[in-house]
Amino acid sequence: MTDLITTHANADFDALASMVAARKLYPGARLVLPGSQERAVREFMSLCSDLVKIEYEKDASLENVTRLIIVETRLKSRIGKMAQLVGKKGVEVHIYDHHPRTDGDVKAAKDIYKKTGASTTILVELIKDREIKISPLEATIMALGIYEDTGSLTFPTTTREDVDMVSFLISNGADLHLVSSYLRGELTEKELRLLALLIQSTEVHVINSVHVAIAAITSEEYVDDLSLLAHKLEDAENFNLIFLMVQTRDRVQFIARSALPFVNVSKVAALFGGGGHPSASGAVIRDMNLVEAKAKLIEYLRSHIHSDIKAKELVTGKPVELKIDEPVSGASEKLVKALCEYAVIKDNGQVEGITSLKDLDRAVSLGFGHARVKGYMSRKIFPVKPDTSIYAIQDMIQEKDVGCVPVFDGGNLLGLVTRSDVLRAFHGRLFAAAAGGELKEPRGVTVNITPRIKKTFPAKMAELLRFAGRLAEETGFTAFAVGGFVRDLLLGVVNFDVDIVIEGNAIEYAKRLSKELCGVYVYHKRFGTATVFCPCPAGIAPSRSSGGKFRIDIAMTRTEIYEKPAALPTVKFGPIENDLYRRDFTINAMAFRLSRHHFGELLDPFNGRADLKDGTIRALHDLSFVDDPTRIFRAVRFEQRFDFKIEPRTENLIKKAVGLKMVDRTQKQRIREELIAILSEEKPLKAVRRLSELNELRFIDPDLTLKSKNIELFSAAEEALAWYDNTHTGNRHALERWLVYLAVLLDELDPAQVKKICGDFVFRKADAAKIISYKKNADRVLAAISKKEKLRASEVYGHLEGLSHEVMVALMAKTPSQAARRRIMSYMTKYAHVKLDLRGDDLKKAGIEPGPHFKELIKKTLHAKLDGKIKTKDGELAFALQHYRR
């Protein structure tokens, strides 16, 4: 008797491990793999090919096989040429699989099915029961199988048996180091590229009210691990139902994922001859091209996606009931306490109407808290029955434009179904939040940071934030403080740059806020954002670049879609969760609520607070730097500013994006802004060094590297700037520190290269002029003012006159000459302030004809004053006249 064990093509670790486990039950059986395998599996097998003997179908003979053992699938179409053995006389078939049985399955003499997270688990249980000995290597392979198919025991499909068998395998010597090194985490460059293509091609179809994402692309080569990409795409884009199709030369790879209980994607895969689980399935399509397969998919979904959810399943409990003559303010409190958006209003036991928290709150804010709820309810109610379908409810909510419908079982009120309930059922939590008024789930609230706000800011600031929240509510919107402002607050850093996001119309809100605060607002049309400038409240310093005013930046909460890597994203309205997800790092992806009843509640979906504590910079997802390569500079900037560490996975993602030369595809102006931001940091050298380590100075100029000379120049620039700050205290911000650092960074390049950089990065004219002036004048001026012999003040003045402060500070950094440095200092602190008392009018009155010589005369007189030759206004006039006559 010859036993042959096989599994499905494109074997993953669960398939491989199931085969290895099956051989323990069928000692002496041959293991034959059909088709190709996932990349990680191939790599693993090449490592242990001597220890685990495996044949490939192309070399395997099927002669004399009397028993075929199929694991991890029960579909004939997935086992390659071993399908020839199915139904062959004299061949008995045994199956071990955790996929639910379907009609098209291979008929087997023995068919073991169990609902476990991994097929391996079923086989390991048998091994354990029969007390069969296994080696540590076998235990490791089997553990890999279970870990992989259960997402390291985290997928909802994981069962207690999976966990128990992992523990059995560990006690049999499974090596978890090896396991974790093979479990796929990061994407390769090729996969990153493919993922970017998939994202780019994703179309969202609304089919029978369900959002369906379909990504269809053509690829030169077969994609090893499409299911991993599906997983990443699901994660990155939060789709609840996704279909991926990749056309290679002779086939279309198909993968489907569903997080919706009423869409079983194993049935969809069956349409193409594949199979799987209700939530994850796949197929290899050979008889259709991409276009045909996609059309067939959509046609099928149109007639098959139907939710059978009924009203009774959507109701989440007894509604809040109010009496018709209750005062509005008390009623509003009741709803807030019950975390409900709507309440029914009863009179004599009969439902008379429905009211919403929003309406009640609006009444309170307008001063009608004492009024009766009767005046703030809608008498138009549209009752539904417990068996009414979700589609009918959805139509009713839309047509009648109501926020909810009551569900009656005869005369008995079961509860309310709200618009959010319907959206949540169709699209999961994220979309539900977009409907607004999401009170049932506190959206990952972890902590209330009001005490920290009080501790960090003057009282007026907290007042202002509360006011901003209240105003949003009055307008029917929800407001959050977000981003760097929240990060700094948690770090205890006082930052008055308030960033507010609004679930609602941000511009309308900005208009109202500026009016209430007696300020003005500026609308940034290109970004759909606004800035409000208002008088500074007591104790609050004006923010940077706000001309002495207090500044509040306002944007709507949005979802960003990166249609092309490195290009600017398409932006549309989305709930706060999406808004946080589009941000750069976990520490910048936190918000807190400004609304009255939830003021200070922190939203921290990515554990940014923990990363702040640990000092970690962490990207939110694998595509972060592909989507927006400017984040590379931001990561480096925050790492150095806070003395944090970019965590290893994020650093790897950066390295991959650097390898893909993503920065070259980014708008140069955006990179310029990030470069300016880095060079504006208190100590930019650290960040520049880090960029150089990551080989990202290359983006400025291919020849630019950080040499020890530049490093010395940076330190010298720091000292020169420190001197400048001390001597120009009132005037510190007039000097653009970043220009000084840029000048020293570019010191090694020749003038033509520097000019090109200024043009390429579109530096502002005045800034470019300063950088170029440094390049052009540095050597000449320094040679002139470094002379050992005495120079008159007027001579120093003549050399330095007209140079900007930035250029002079950069010259101070560059020169090794003490004398030159002293002369520049004297110029900036003394000579530059010497002015003549003599005016042009005085010269005219003294009989000097106006003309070009005026200027020359004034200059000579000034030089004489600088050199101490004249002290008084009369002296100045006498000197001028004397020279005029000459």
Beta bridge partners of 351: 346
Q: Which two tokens stand for residue 869?
A: 């030759």
Residue 558 binding ligand ATP, by CB under 6 A: no
Type and span of the H or E element at 330 = helix 328-337
In the complex, least distance from residue 735 CB atom to ligand ATP, rounded to whole angstroms: 19
Instruction: Work out which of 97, 191, 237, 628 binds ligand ATP, going by CB under 6 A.
Output: 628
In the complex, least distance from residue 584 CB atom to ligand ATP, rounded to whole angstroms: 4
CA distance 854 to 844: 10
Select the span of 109-117, 124-132, 407-415, 625-633 touching ligand ATP (CB under 6 A). 625-633
Instruction: Work out which of 276, 319, 483, 600 binds ligand ATP, going by CB under 6 A.
Output: 483
Smallest CA-to-CA distance from 253 within 225, 211, 213, 295 is with 225
Of residues 583 and 863, the one with the C-beta less far from ligand ATP: 583
Residue 92 main-chain phi, psi, to 5 deg: -95, 140
Of residues 499 and 806, the one with the C-beta less far from ligand ATP: 499
Select the span of 11-19, 420-428, 626-634, 790-798 touching ligand ATP (CB under 6 A). 626-634
Type and span of the H or E element at 452 = helix 450-456
What are the residues whose beta carbons fall under 8 Å from the beta carbon of 537, sequence distance 6 or more? 458, 460, 461, 463, 464, 550
Of residues 54 and 481, the one with the C-beta less far from ligand ATP: 481
Smallest CA-to-CA distance from 775 within 805, 796, 799, 755 is with 755
Of residues 342 and 533, the one with the C-beta less far from ligand ATP: 533
Binding marks (x or -) toward ligand ATP, 564..593, rule CB under 6 A? Answer: -------------------xx---x-----
In the complex, least distance from residue 630 CB atom to ligand ATP, rounded to whole angstroms: 5
From residue 617, give the alpha-carbon distance in Å to each of 144, 585, 642, 644. Answer: 30, 6, 10, 7
Give, as one character, the DSSP assignment of residue 109.
S
Instruction: Work out which of 631, 686, 805, 814 binds ligand ATP, going by CB under 6 A.
Output: 631
Of residues 341 and 499, the one with the C-beta less far from ligand ATP: 499
In the complex, least distance from residue 482 CB atom to ligand ATP, rounded to whole angstroms: 7
Select the span of 187-195, 259-267, 451-459, 623-631 touching ligand ATP (CB under 6 A). 623-631
In the complex, least distance from residue 530 CB atom to ligand ATP, rounded to whole angstroms: 15
Residue 684 binding ligand ATP, by CB under 6 A: no
Of residues 524 and 869, the one with the C-beta less far from ligand ATP: 524
In the complex, least distance from residue 655 CB atom to ligand ATP, rounded to whole angstroms: 18
Binding marks (x or -) toward ligand ATP, 497..536, rule CB under 6 A? Answer: --x-------------------------------------
Type and span of the H or E element at 598 = none
> Burial level of 766, CB count in 10 A (0-12/13-18/19+)?
exposed
Of residues 100 and 484, the one with the C-beta less far from ligand ATP: 484
Of residues 273 and 484, the one with the C-beta less far from ligand ATP: 484
Select the span of 222-230, 318-326, 624-632, 791-799 touching ligand ATP (CB under 6 A). 624-632
What are the residues whose beta carbons fall under 8 Å from the beta carbon of 549, sequence distance 6 or more? 519, 533, 534, 535, 536, 542
In the complex, least distance from residue 641 CB atom to ligand ATP, rounded to whole angstroms: 8
| Identity at 360, one-letter amino acid code | L
Type and span of the H or E element at 440 = none
Instruction: Work out which of 484, 528, 798, 875 binds ligand ATP, going by CB under 6 A.
Output: 484
Select the span of 84-92, 627-635, 712-720, 857-865 touching ligand ATP (CB under 6 A). 627-635
Of residues 583 and 593, the one with the C-beta less far from ligand ATP: 583
Handedness of CA 579, 583, 586, 589 (dihedral sign): negative
For 63-86, b where at least 16 C-beta lie within 10 A, e where not — what string? eebebbbbbbbbbbbbbbebbebe
User: Which residues, 588 to 617, sit near ligand ATP by CB under 6 A?
Assistant: 588
Residue with the closest Cβ to ligand ATP? 484
Of residues 104 and 615, the one with the C-beta less far from ligand ATP: 615
From residue 579, give the alpha-carbon distance in Å to each of 187, 242, 629. Answer: 24, 21, 19
CA distance 269 to 280: 9
Residue ranges of alpha helices (H) inside 348-434 are 357-365, 390-400, 419-434
Radius of gyration of the chain (CA): 36
User: Which residues, 632 to 661, sit near ligand ATP by CB under 6 A?
Assistant: 634
Of residues 460 and 641, the one with the C-beta less far from ligand ATP: 641
Angle, vertex CA 566, rays to CA 671 and CA 218, nearest 5 = 160
Residue 281 main-chain phi, psi, to 5 deg: -150, 175
- # chain residues binding ligand ATP, by CB under 6 A: 10
In the complex, least distance from residue 495 CB atom to ligand ATP, rounded to whole angstroms: 7
Of residues 444 and 484, the one with the C-beta less far from ligand ATP: 484
What are the residues whose beta carbons fall under 8 Å from the beta carbon of 379, sequence distance 6 or more? 352, 353
Of residues 631 and 821, the one with the C-beta less far from ligand ATP: 631
Residue 630 binding ligand ATP, by CB under 6 A: yes
The secondary structure of 129-179 as a DSSP string is HTT----HHHHHHHHHHHHHHTTTTTSTT--HHHHHHHHHHHHTT--HHHH
In the complex, least distance from residue 684 CB atom to ligand ATP, rounded to whole angstroms: 13
In the complex, least distance from residue 488 CB atom to ligand ATP, rounded to whole angstroms: 7
Of residues 189 and 682, the one with the C-beta less far from ligand ATP: 682
In the complex, least distance from residue 810 CB atom to ligand ATP, rounded to whole angstroms: 24
Smallest CA-to-CA distance from 552 within 560, 543, 539 is with 543
What are the residues whose beta carbons fall under 8 Å from the beta carbon of 378, sequence distance 6 or more? 353, 354, 355, 402
Give the three-class secondary structure for 304.
helix
Q: Which residues of the chain form contacts with ligand ATP (CB under 6 A)?
A: 483-484, 499, 583-584, 588, 628, 630-631, 634
